[in-house]
Structure 1
Amino acid sequence: MPNLNSKLSPKQPEFVLATSDYTKKVLMKFNVAHFYQFTAESQKMDVIPDACIDILFWKKGGKLITKIAGTRLEKGITDTDINGEYFGVRFMPGTNPVDRSLPLCEIVNHEWDFEDLIVSNEKKRLIENMFYANTFDKKIKVFMTYYLNVIEKHLEDTKNLKYFLRNEIIMSSGNLKLSKLSTLTGYSERYLNKKIHEDFGINPKNLIQFIRFQKAIGNLTDTINRVNCINTALEAGYYDQSHFIKDFKKFSGQTPINYINNLLCNSYNKKLHVIE
């Protein structure tokens, strides 16, 4: 089976900049990309498109606050509570952990109270256990205990069309067109357009662009201290530098060079701690 982890590890580098210590634990199983935690040191964080859904938990005023946030369609900003201790879960593209309550298209570009979307007989146990979990590992365990109880719909048949489409788009790093998917699957472009919107909450163009952009972000952050990091980013599948810069500015609000300089000036690598 192709290693999707080597092709897509969705990132939000600005989350790292919002704290002095950001911990991330990679899973890449059960449609969960990774877990992360940080203590917010600002009132806002920048958010970039990643085609993913995040669930976040944090304490405020002796109460556990929750939210579920869909991918942005362009660079955005989300509010944070200063000194709030955040625990987050990032899912792979096309995964909807609240599909019994909301379709993906209604989560995209929006934030909702996650607690309001949990089935009542599961809510109390998850919220209480998450509130009292006092370590990163315990929070992961609590969440996965809950998630594995509702995971049946999230364990995709590897032979179904949704899995195939996601696999092809990710393995190409977003470097393909809908016409190519039509040729590979035998389905019309019109049908695939409808199918992708239903299964991923966004249209094919956005899905492909976001996967390619995230590949570029990954290449940049993985080679942040190299002189040729821009050339490395171009390997994400952009056909020339102007195309790369245009998309990068659209989705990040900055040129690639300014983006990297911002990460370097704010000690991105020193703040980020990854647990494999």
Structure 2
Amino acid sequence: MLSSSHSYQVANIHSKQPWFVLSAEKYATNLTTENPVISHFYSFEVGKSQAPTTAIPDGCVDLLFDCNSDSPMGLVCGTTLEATEVAFNQDHRYFGMRFVPGFIPDFIEISAPELTNKQCNIVDVVLNSQDLVEQIISASSFQEQVQIAKQFMRGKQGRKPTNLTHQVAAKICHEKGNIQVQDLETFTGYCSRTLQRQFRADLGLTPKAFCRAIRCQSAIYDINHLDKVAFSDLAFNLGFSDQSHFLREFKKLVSATPLEYQNRVKQKTYLDRIQCY
């Protein structure tokens, strides 16, 4: 198990895919404290007539399992770089394990850049994973799936990024994505070209793309959890030069304006839809 010094905390934000929550028939989550590299486990049920939904940037890698006994499948999912349409199988139940932002398990046999914006069949990129897929699919409950996933992760390590990447990722998370590349140059003493080359090799993203993902998650977290959000204040707190820039960026990453997203969250009572275990 990786020590907590190798994980990156984003102000206690457990990055979620909000459109998955809002579109699911049922959505459950388990916030584990046993392994610092796991953000959380989750499960959701897709309705009989559910239309495609949207994935947004989160900087995370997921293991996602389609639990339908007739067509079971396990996927390794890298982060998207902007709002991306995702189609799930109707009337299926899914189980997922999300790692903390910037963490890539060492048992995934694919480079970090190849994983970004991609979904790979788990049996193609994780050795001897068919047994894990079968156990997850045959489990009788979400809680049992969580225990199976925890057991699978015991003794597993993460890819060791360079100290430079580790410091930069931790700094970005600490600042909730509100930091410029020139500030990272001052923080590390390295030029932007070196920062980008090493960061992308280790995590599959440029520092700027990772900042965008973390800042996106910070914005939706505030909208999800605060009763009143002044978008001008939110834009300022996240380092945007003006509110219009924030609105354009939010729309590109979330596929809705902040106001449209806020209305959907309140209408669907976002937090009430999540069953916590």
2:44 to 38, 43, 52: 38
Contact 2:73–2:133 at 8 Å: present in 1 too? no
Classify 1:10/1:272 alpha carbon distance in 2 versus 1 (closer, same or farther; 3 Å): same
Give a deviation string over 1:105-144, Cα, whole Å, max 9, x none.
Answer: 1111111111222213xx2431232122212221111112
Contact 1:7–1:215 at 8 Å: present in 2 too? no
2:139 to 123, 133, 139: 133
Match of 1:176 in 2: 179
Match of 1:12 in 2: 17
Contact 1:56–1:67 at 8 Å: present in 2 too? yes
Letter of the 1:131 counterpart: I
Contact 1:12–1:47 at 8 Å: present in 2 too? yes
Contact 1:212–1:237 at 8 Å: present in 2 too? no
| Distance of 1:197 and 1:67 partners within structure 2 | 22
| Distance of 1:43 and 1:168 partners within structure 2 | 38
Contact 1:216–1:233 at 8 Å: present in 2 too? yes
Bigger shift: residues 54-63 or 131-140: 54-63
Q: Could you tell me how far 1:33 is from its partner in structure 2?
A: 1.0
User: Residue 273 of structure 1 aligns to a residue in which SS?
Assistant: strand
| Distance of 1:272 and 1:100 partners within structure 2 | 29
Structure 2: runs of 5+ lacking an equivalent: none
CA RMSD of aligned residues (A): 2.4
| Distance of 2:185 and 2:104 partners within structure 1 | 25
Contact 2:68–2:137 at 8 Å: present in 1 too? no
| Distance of 2:152 and 2:117 partners within structure 1 | 25
| Distance of 1:25 and 1:181 partners within structure 2 | 34
Count of residue pairs brought into register by the alignment: 268
1:161 to 164, 173, 176: 164
Q: Could you tell me how far 1:99 is from its partner in structure 2?
A: 5.4
Structure 1: runs of 5+ lacking an equivalent: none
Classify 1:3/1:52 alpha carbon distance in 2 versus 1 (closer, same or farther; 3 Å): closer
Match of 1:212 in 2: 215
Match of 2:261 in 1: 259
Match of 1:76 in 2: 84
Letter of the 1:60 counterpart: N
2:55 to 47, 62, 66: 47
Bigger shift: residues 253-262 or 128-137: 128-137
Q: Could you tell me how far 1:183 is from its partner in structure 2?
A: 1.8
- When normalised by structure 1's length, the TM-score is 0.88
